[in-house]
């Protein structure tokens, strides 16, 4: 799941770039926070990917809901990172990019919630059936 920091950092930058007077220091700090949050999300995904083989071995039912996890999320995160790094401090350039990032992050949050529910239900189902045997 994208860390909430990404959404907060994106909304913060939207506010900074929408202000009537531009604060370059706040912009630079905000952009740095956003890029850092995106990179943090990448590190979390990479760590989680390392857990997939063990999770599948322990809960075979989870294999049905996690194919494509690494590629789909890696691609989305690469796009978010490129967009974040492309910010210039020029509102007419940045605001459409920030809205795109915000939408992508919100979609990612929803997808991750759905994935958590799917994996949890499969794991709980498998645990239940093994217990009943």
pLDDT single digits (tens) 60-119: 665 555 555 556 777 888 899 999 999 999 999 999 999 999 998 888 888 778 767 766
Residues 91 and 18 sit within 8 Å (Cβ to Cβ):
yes
Can you tell me the distance from the alpha carbon of 87 to that of 89, in angstroms, rounded to the nearest whole number?
6
Name the H helices within 59-90.
69-85
Least confident of 14-18, 46-50, 57-61, 93-97: 57-61
Least confident of 5-9, 23-27, 47-51, 128-132: 128-132
Three-state secondary-structure class, residue 131: helix
Looking at every residue in the chain, the average pLDDT score rounds to: 80
Tell me what pLDDT residue 133 has. 40
Residue in the structure block whose two tokens are 């700090």: 29
Domain spans, the chain? 4-132
Q: Alpha-carbon dihedral of residues 120, 126, 128, 132, nearest 10 degrees? A: 180
């Amino acid at each position: 799941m994208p860390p909430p920091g990404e959404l907060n950092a994106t909304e913060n930058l939207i506010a900074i770039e929408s202000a009537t007077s531009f604060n370059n220091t706040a912009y630079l700090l905000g952009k740095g926070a956003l890029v850092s949050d995106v990179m943090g999300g990448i590190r979390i995904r990479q760590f989680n990917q390392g857990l997939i083989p063990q999770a599948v071995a322990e809960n075979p039912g989870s294999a049905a809901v996690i194919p494509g996890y690494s590629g789909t999320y890696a691609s989305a995160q690469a796009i978010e990172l490129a967009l974040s790094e492309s910010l210039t401090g020029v509102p007419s350039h940045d605001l459409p990019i920030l809205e795109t990032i915000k939408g992508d992050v919100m979609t990612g949050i929803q997808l991750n919630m759905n994935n958590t529910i799917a994996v949890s239900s499969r794991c709980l189902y498998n645990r239940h059936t093994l217990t009943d045997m």
